[in-house]
Structure 1
Amino acid sequence: MKKHVYPFGQKPQFSPNEKWFSFFKNDQWVLFDLTNKTETWTDSILSAQFALNGEITLLRHKNHPDKLTVYNNKNKNELTINHTTNFSISPDKENMVVIQQNDSLFNLLLVDLKQPDKPTLLKEKINHSSNFRWSDSGNLLAFYEETKSIKGEYKDHILHCLDLKENTKNKILYSEKLNKDYYLNSHVITFSKDETTINFMAFPKDESHKIIDPQIWRSSDAIHPPVGETYNKRWLISWDLTNGKLTPISDQSYLMATGDYQHFFTLNNKNYQPSFKYGNFYNDIISRNSKTGKTKIIDNEFIVLTRLEVIATSPKENYFTWIKEKDWWVYNSEKDEKTCITCGIKDEFAIPVDSENSLNVPYGTAFYSKDNNNIILTSKHNIWIYNFNDNDIQPLFKDNKNYNYQIESAKPEWLDSRGENYNLYKKPPVDLENGLFVVQYDLNTNNESLYLYETGNELKFITSSLHKISSPRKAGDAIVYTLSNYNLPPQIVYWKNGKETIMKQSNKQQQNYYWGHSELLTYPGPYGTTLKGILFYPGNYNPDKKYPVIFKIYSEVNITALKDYIPLTLQNSVGWNNFVFTTQDYFVFMPDISYKLNHTGESALKSVLAGVDAINKIRGVDTSRMGLFGHSFGGYEASYIATQTDKFKTIVCFAASQDLSSNYLSIDDGKRFNYFRFEHNQYRITAPYYSHIFLDNSPILQAHKINTPMLLIAGTNDNRVDWKNSIKMQLALTRLEKKSTLLLYKDEYHVFTEKHNQIDISKKMMEWFNYHLKDKSKPHWN
């Protein structure tokens, strides 16, 4: 296998026909011929995009951004279109439209990429246009054209729909067709699958938020807290191209479209307010047909807290999938049918209660197959494939409670702005023809195995490793994947016919440094439980030496941290990085916390002390020099522990809740009341906020018992846990003449976002622990 190495190369891409590979180095564009192994370097290129199955590349020039070059990758011929401001390629990559400046106006050209020298004029002397959207067939093209009308804060637009096969069917939509308070803005456009409707967003002319003054808070109100401001919402509108009818779809922020872009789903909680009366954040799931305008509630009492895992829509057709209580359901909006596809299966599809005490959390998200014939689901001990044609669901693996599974072929991801399905995240479909990759986890040995499933073929074992297996990709008969571990930087592995070759090892320099290793411990916990904890060893570990240890706590330990490779850096949003401490001769221990309802503080204390007993048996651990760190909920737990034991020489609490009564009776950064965090979330306290049981969990009411030096950290923009909690605890400890220091960072949030503050807090935490656990000099800032 021959390697071609390009230091500082960026934006790599293969052509669709796999004949070419291109990338950028500085402002040079490099085209590599994979057949002849030759390179072509071109200066001052801004962007490059393959088209026509990879036969050509479309180039924008850095020094002349108004030049668009059609570059023939094989014969090197070039055709330049001048005065271009924008272009868009058709779905089949064989045509493109180009906006070409014509004096102060613009022309819209259609270019056949097989004959780029013979463009067709679609529109002449129009205003600036943008946001081009092709229908799947490539026969229709929609876009926005700016108008000359600028009224107040907004710029109006015209929505065009061009029929590229029959221009007599071209359509135009003006803002005057909308409600008088709305206008057309350049935003996401989608075609329905049958190409008879266009969906677009209508923007209010006045989006300003009007403060309600005075606010009126009534205990009888359904909404808590009350709305503090009013504003006009954006609306999703469907435009019927056959008759010009406009159908409002929704003004809800939580909105999803199926792949046919004719059926939409929203959530509505108005029937479950105030939520504390109903015991959770319930919603109705509502289906809306853009053609008929028909609206229907398809399920009720559905729990969702903006999680990616609980909802999915089909990529092509009209299916909607969700998990409720313990089973997955599918709604066929075309047939108006709702089906439970996992009822009767003994395996578990939802975690009874997750680490944050939340309900309705599946073991894995639901993915649709690319052909829309299947849904792939993850249960506690298997992967299941549901077939729409047969209405049948089958497991991929034999029943075995010793294994967990994870789909590696697709990952849900958050988007910076609303995507084409009108939501803030997307779930790519899985191509079962090309293969479904699944990683199997052995719960007894922590071994991982990679399997490949292809439609019509037997499940195929690929490889097994004690390292973490991730990011598998298939290319013909070969497979490429990544191996990594706590102390192994990611390496890219090439697999073919059972033979593995390391293609690339990242961070080779790390082998010159002591890095330590991680170990999973199992030990008895409180309330008759068995706990797990991850111990990270000092880099240059010597069992005959004694090392200080820092406990990092939050909730149930995430076992994946055992193998997570985390780059060594001081740029950490909460000031914490395991490697920063283990490379400075510290043990780090991350213990499980087992909870008893209404005794959250006590649960953290007993679980942590059980962890102390467990690591006390490890050679080299010095339990006379222990520190404790927690952030957010972990900061609360650490602060409570400080009121109950003197075993730790110092404790650091970052963004911690110190006054539980005040926190309970407050509003968070999502403008939700904080009752739910106690009654239905991680605090696990259902006792009344005025009861002794509730108050006994509050650190600030027991601050007089603290004898351990405390470091408190907060940012003045933290509204998740009110930063004044840290001030209150600092004032309490000051008045009680206890040893404590508060670091208050101006304009920082629940996690720090400014690079210089991230580095500063990481350094200060290290200096603090060094002083208290290693007898180093006292920090100059303390």
Structure 2
Amino acid sequence: MLARLFFVFTIGALSVVSAQKKPITHDDYDLWKRVADTKISDEGKLVVSTIELLTGRGDGHVQIYNTETGNTAIFDRGYETAISADENYVVFKRKPAYETIRKEKKDDVKKDKQSKDALFIYDVKNNRLHDSIPRVKAYQLPEKYEGWLVMEKHKELKEEKGKKDSTETKTDSISTQKKDTTKQKVNPAFKQDYALVYRFETKSKDTIHQIKEFTVPKNGNSFIYALKQEKEKEWDLGVYTYDVANGLRTPIDTTKYSYSNLAVDEKGNQFAYMSSADSTAVDSLKFELNYLNENKLTVLVDSAASRIQKGWVLGKDKAPFFSESGKRLYFGVKPEVSYDRDTTMLDDEIPQVDVWNWQDKLLQPEQKVREKELKEKAFLMYYDTSNESYVTIQGELLKEVAVDARKEEKFILGNTNDAYALERSWAFPWKWDIYVIDSYTGDQKLLLEGVTYNPEVLPNNAFAIYFDMDAQDWFSIDLSTTEKRNLTAGLAVAFHDEDDDHPSLPYPYGFGGFDEDGNPLVYDKFDIWKLTADNSKAPINITKNGRLENIEYRLLNLDPEEENLASYLDGRLLITSFDKTTKESGLYTLRKGKLIEKLRPSGYLISNYNKAKEADVFTFTRQNFQVFPDILVTTDGFESNKKITDLNPHEKDFKWGTVEQFQWTAYDGTPLDGLLYKPEDFDPSKKYPMITYFYEKRSDTYNRHVSPSPSRSTVNAAYLVSNDYIMFVPDIVYKDGQPGESAFNCIVSGVEAVEKLGYIDSANMAIQGQSWGGYQVAYLVTKTNKFKAAMAGAPVSNMTSAYGGIRWGSGRSRAVQYERTQTRIGKDLWEGLDLYLENSPLFGIPNIETPLLMMHNDEDGAVPYYQGIEMFMGMRRLQKPAWLLVYNKEAHNLTQIKNRQDLSIRMMQFFDHFLKGAPAPKWMNQGLPRIAKEKDLGYDLGED
């Protein structure tokens, strides 16, 4: 076997380690922070970042950076940020201190009496806190209009009543007359949640008591809100508009039982809402759609649904919304279906049964997972506000329609998979029929049958572009005539994934977007190609050298609302690069067919780009294994940049490590790539224990930073190298029908190649993987005794029993995964029974000599929980050393920090014992009886 090292050291890889540096422990995880969110103001003056702890066990902060002055303001515990349109204010919520909430929970304080968030408002001009308001539940401010916001506040506690904020001015004092002649009066005693209308300049606050719901416009000065009674299931008080300029509240309607789904157009001139009249049976409410414009209230859809299709009703769960111009008001309708329960029967007399039918288009478990979605499903119509007409654009046939609310295009696309619904359980890629809809008339026409890649409509609204996975070419289709054109026929490059190793048709490398002329841009493995929808010009490779230099070029789209990708930096395309050899990335612009370097590829992964909408101000991050991805900002088109965060300076105090690329040749002659992580004080004359982790292909992550954090399911590279382990991460390529042997071919050959480097303690090696990686761990220990210990998270152990099961997270059949996707068997169970048996670890348990630790959680929706149990029970029966960790109410990967911490401790105690000779903990030696659960964690180290 050929083995060689590819040396591309990250910055500081050869630094001398000082004696003061310490190894990372499980007690150190709470030190690490991350950037949770970054926003840039429209004109680029402000960069607002939300910082949080990786573990959540502590307090984060909001950082506000002024690109003009260089000032930085930091507010502890801030989150949920917004920037006013004039860039004069930054608004954010502030959490109570972590330790405060922890103590309140420990003291069993009721939730409504626990400390609540506050709203903070920062004054940009004066670089100081402008205002703070306690007990704020939520807030909204116009995205493009300045001067005000609306916040919803928690109801006041008893001891706070009467202590009214002296800055609050007007309050509601509206009384309304209902059909039962009972007067309902707004109670000013703050017994319910209420709203404040806040004006930035004066700090004045108008109070709206008993708030139910409100929504503000994107670029206007009026909003709509609804009020409710103190007790649930009683009459709502009404729906109103509020004119912020003069503080005027105008009742729209106060006579109905319920109001919901409020909508306002972009400028705050048109309003819509749904209402229902009085009803004694809440579950059978009949809803109406109401529209207000220029003080004229119109019932667009009444409770009898007289203006829509017969037998249909208003979709009460789909909120109406306006198009950007306000010319269309979209809303949902659905067939009226009622299921009358037999009220003569008691609950314990009604059978609880799921009836599965072999012709069901959706399996019963999928219907269960999607029950809310299916129950609330509605089909799209719109009301034309200019000519007062109604158009149905979806109808019951189509599952989805692609409506762009920014414009009123003539042609839109919809799809349905009814004809292919059954075969979704075993066939892949999934197929769809595509329809073109005339949005002016609602007419529908079949456009494409059995496509597996959704088309993209061009900006000219005349053509759509799609990838034909049978032909493996890009096509355009004329939306008026349905004429198709092959746009890439005859080109000498492939536009499908050349390296795909699944037993199904490969997907394309992708669609990039449109240039300034509306031409579609698509990818091959390396380069970007410009096509013309009418095929009037030959395709052009606009990046030219990607394939020649092993560089992957991709377009950078920083504004989802902008179709023209050449809308940045004087109308140039922004293009990222990823060098497939060095794994470093850069940024370019394209000018007159030439790539102009903006960020030089230099040993980093550069990503997480953001941009101001109206200015060429960008933020981005730059990282490698040793450099944390702090935020950098540029205000001069990437001519220079400045680092504006320094989140984890303590990393320098810990022993870290280096990463190297490693190449070798598999047993079958396939050249492979991998990664080797080493301690930073690595001594080639020493022997190190090694843990091999794997999942598909990971070598492209060479320049990714790894922060120490409690494990969701896998080992942590930073922790391992800090504690004198070497970590090996091999890429894996697969052959159809041989997932297990393919893993052996790649992983074990790679491990042997690394062993030949001379510094691996071959007597103390382990493997670890999760899910698909967990399966391969379980398989490998049946084929080799090379490893002293192994840890498998959520492994499939018996493909014959797993094949016919359900992925409970989605409710779908698992068969498609085994036949066509990740498992790669390529045949059904009956045609390929020998392959299912050969690749199942369960049947190789008699060969296992490696101690195996497994994690498989009792609410795993991806891999059936019983797969881990089958493996454990087989090893237990044959008296093979095995441990199974089952975290309660956890799914495929751990989410609760307490459980992640626990797994990290147990997994490393397991590896430390077998690879470093550390004493075994109590939970490994003696187990933990059920009666000791949550009392004795069994971490104590004992004697073997």
User: Which range, TM-score by smaller chain?
Assistant: 0.7 to 0.9
Equivalent of 1:462 in 598, 602, 618? 598
User: What are the superposed Cα offsets for residues 202-224 of structure 1, whole Å, 9 maximum, x if unpaired?
Assistant: 4866589997666465xxx6969
CA distance in 1, matches of 2:593, 2:220: 32
Q: Which amino acid aligns with 1:675?
A: A
Segment drifting more, 503-512 vs 273-282? 273-282
Q: Is residue 321–residue 328 contact of structure 1 (8 Å, CA) maintained in 2?
A: yes
SS of 1:564 mapped into structure 2: coil
Q: Is residue 374–residue 387 contact of structure 1 (8 Å, CA) maintained in 2?
A: yes
Name the structure 1 match of 2:187: none
CA distance in 2, matches of 1:15, 1:635: 48
Name the structure 2 match of 1:414: none
CA distance 1:432–1:190, change in 2 (3 Å): farther
Q: Is residue 715–residue 750 contact of structure 1 (8 Å, CA) maintained in 2?
A: yes
Q: Is residue 661–residue 689 contact of structure 1 (8 Å, CA) maintained in 2?
A: no
CA distance in 2, matches of 1:719, 1:37: 49
Aligned pair 1:58/2:164, yes or no?
no
Name the structure 1 match of 2:557: 409
Aligned-residue offset at 1:628: 0.8
Q: Is residue 585–residue 606 contact of structure 2 (8 Å, CA) maintained in 1?
A: yes
Q: How does 1:71-110 map to 2 (within 5 A)?
A: 71-73=199-201, 76=202, 78=204, 80=206, 82-83=208-209, 85=211, 86-99=213-226, 106=237, 108-110=239-241
Equivalent of 2:654 in 513, 518, 542? 513
Q: Is residue 546–residue 553 contact of structure 2 (8 Å, CA) maintained in 1?
A: no
CA distance in 1, matches of 2:241, 2:364: 53
CA distance 1:267–1:351, change in 2 (3 Å): farther
Q: Is residue 258–residue 315 contact of structure 1 (8 Å, CA) maintained in 2?
A: no
Q: Which runs of 5+ in 2 are unaligned?
A: 1-68, 96-116, 157-189, 342-350, 925-944
CA distance 1:355–1:410, change in 2 (3 Å): farther
Aligned pair 1:42/2:109, yes or no?
no
SS of 2:73 mapped into structure 1: coil
CA distance in 2, matches of 1:216, 1:67: 50
Aligned pair 1:742/2:884, yes or no?
yes
SS of 1:568 mapped into structure 2: coil
Q: Is residue 109–residue 121 contact of structure 1 (8 Å, CA) maintained in 2?
A: yes
CA distance 1:718–1:272, change in 2 (3 Å): closer
Q: Compare the two structures and name the one with the higher strand fraction.
A: 1
Aligned pair 1:588/2:727, yes or no?
yes
Name the structure 2 match of 1:654: 793
Q: Is residue 175–residue 184 contact of structure 1 (8 Å, CA) maintained in 2?
A: no
Segment drifting more, 765-774 vs 722-731? 722-731
Aligned pair 1:6/2:87, yes or no?
no
Equivalent of 1:238 in 372, 375, 381? 381
Q: Is residue 471–residue 481 contact of structure 1 (8 Å, CA) maintained in 2?
A: yes
User: What are the superposed Cα offsets for residues 235-294 of structure 1, whole Å, 9 maximum, x if unpaired?
Assistant: 314255545576762376555434548734123152575468977533323344565443
Q: Is residue 485–residue 534 contact of structure 2 (8 Å, CA) maintained in 1?
A: no
Identify which of structures 1 and 2 has the higher relative contact order when contacts are C-alpha pairs closer than 8 Å and 6+ apart. Answer: 2
Equivalent of 1:116 in 242, 246, 251? 246
CA distance in 2, matches of 1:586, 1:190: 56
CA distance in 2, matches of 1:105, 1:677: 50
Aligned-residue offset at 1:513: 0.8
Q: How does 1:550-565 map to 2 (within 5 A)?
A: 550-555=691-696, 557-565=697-705
Aligned-residue offset at 1:649: 0.7
CA distance in 1, matches of 2:142, 2:428: 54
CA distance 1:758–1:597, change in 2 (3 Å): same
Equivalent of 2:909 in 743, 767, 773? 767
Q: Is residue 364–residue 406 contact of structure 1 (8 Å, CA) maintained in 2?
A: no
User: What are the superposed Cα offsets for residues 283-315 of structure 1, whole Å, 9 maximum, x if unpaired?
Assistant: 3233445654433332233236xxxxx565679
Q: Which amino acid aligns with 2:330?
A: I
SS of 1:505 mapped into structure 2: coil
Q: Which amino acid aligns with 1:6?
A: I
Q: Is residue 158–residue 184 contact of structure 1 (8 Å, CA) maintained in 2?
A: no
CA distance in 2, matches of 1:700, 1:686: 20
SS of 1:482 mapped into structure 2: strand
CA distance in 2, matches of 1:707, 1:699: 13
User: What are the superposed Cα offsets for residues 586-624 of structure 1, whole Å, 9 maximum, x if unpaired?
Assistant: 111111112222222211112112211332244633232
CA distance 1:329–1:59, change in 2 (3 Å): same
The two structures, once aligned, show a CA RMSD in angstroms of 4.0
CA distance 1:711–1:204, change in 2 (3 Å): farther
CA distance 1:338–1:131, change in 2 (3 Å): farther
CA distance in 1, matches of 2:424, 2:366: 18
Q: Is residue 431–residue 452 contact of structure 2 (8 Å, CA) maintained in 1?
A: yes
CA distance in 2, matches of 1:316, 1:82: 46
Q: Which amino acid aligns with 2:332?
A: F
CA distance 1:647–1:388, change in 2 (3 Å): same
Aligned pair 1:379/2:524, yes or no?
yes
Q: Which amino acid aligns with 1:780?
A: K
Aligned pair 1:664/2:664, yes or no?
no
CA distance 1:662–1:79, change in 2 (3 Å): closer
Q: Which amino acid aligns with 1:92?
A: N
Q: Is residue 439–residue 451 contact of structure 1 (8 Å, CA) maintained in 2?
A: yes
Q: Is residue 249–residue 290 contact of structure 1 (8 Å, CA) maintained in 2?
A: no
CA distance in 2, matches of 1:23, 1:228: 39
Q: How does 1:529-568 map to 2 (within 5 A)?
A: 529-538=670-679, 540-555=681-696, 557-568=697-708
User: What are the superposed Cα offsets for residues 536-590 of structure 1, whole Å, 9 maximum, x if unpaired?
Assistant: 22354333332211111222x13342222233121x3324333332322211111
Q: Which amino acid aligns with 1:649?
A: K
Q: Is residue 578–residue 588 contact of structure 1 (8 Å, CA) maintained in 2?
A: yes
Q: Is residue 312–residue 366 contact of structure 1 (8 Å, CA) maintained in 2?
A: no
Aligned-residue offset at 1:134: 3.4
CA distance 1:117–1:749, change in 2 (3 Å): closer
Aligned pair 1:171/2:300, yes or no?
yes
Q: Which amino acid aligns with 1:763?
A: I
Equivalent of 1:685 in 825, 842, 867? 825
Q: Which amino acid aligns with 1:592?
A: D
Name the structure 2 match of 1:415: none
Aligned pair 1:69/2:69, yes or no?
no
Q: Is residue 302–residue 324 contact of structure 1 (8 Å, CA) maintained in 2?
A: yes
Aligned pair 1:301/2:450, yes or no?
yes
CA distance in 1, matches of 2:774, 2:296: 65
CA distance 1:689–1:573, change in 2 (3 Å): farther
Count of residue pairs brought into register by the alignment: 752
SS of 1:517 mapped into structure 2: strand
Q: How does 1:280-291 map to 2 (within 5 A)?
A: 281-289=430-438
Q: Is residue 658–residue 698 contact of structure 1 (8 Å, CA) maintained in 2?
A: yes
Q: Which amino acid aligns with 1:236?
A: F
CA distance in 2, matches of 1:704, 1:768: 22
Q: Which amino acid aligns with 1:13?
A: A
Q: Is residue 584–residue 703 contact of structure 2 (8 Å, CA) maintained in 1?
A: no
Aligned pair 1:324/2:468, yes or no?
yes
Aligned pair 1:397/2:529, yes or no?
no
Q: Is residue 216–residue 268 contact of structure 2 (8 Å, CA) maintained in 1?
A: no
Q: Which runs of 5+ in 1 are unaligned?
A: 305-309, 412-425
CA distance 1:457–1:18, change in 2 (3 Å): farther
Name the structure 1 match of 2:582: 445
Q: Which amino acid aligns with 2:775?
A: Y
Name the structure 1 match of 2:181: none
CA distance in 1, matches of 2:399, 2:83: 37
CA distance in 1, matches of 2:389, 2:145: 40
Q: Is residue 526–residue 594 contact of structure 1 (8 Å, CA) maintained in 2?
A: no
Q: Is residue 536–residue 582 contact of structure 1 (8 Å, CA) maintained in 2?
A: yes
Aligned pair 1:142/2:272, yes or no?
yes
Equivalent of 2:568 in 414, 434, 438? 434
SS of 2:545 mapped into structure 1: coil
CA distance in 2, matches of 1:527, 1:709: 29
Name the structure 2 match of 1:675: 815
Q: Which amino acid aligns with 1:546?
A: K
Aligned-residue offset at 1:776: 0.9
CA distance 1:377–1:188, change in 2 (3 Å): farther
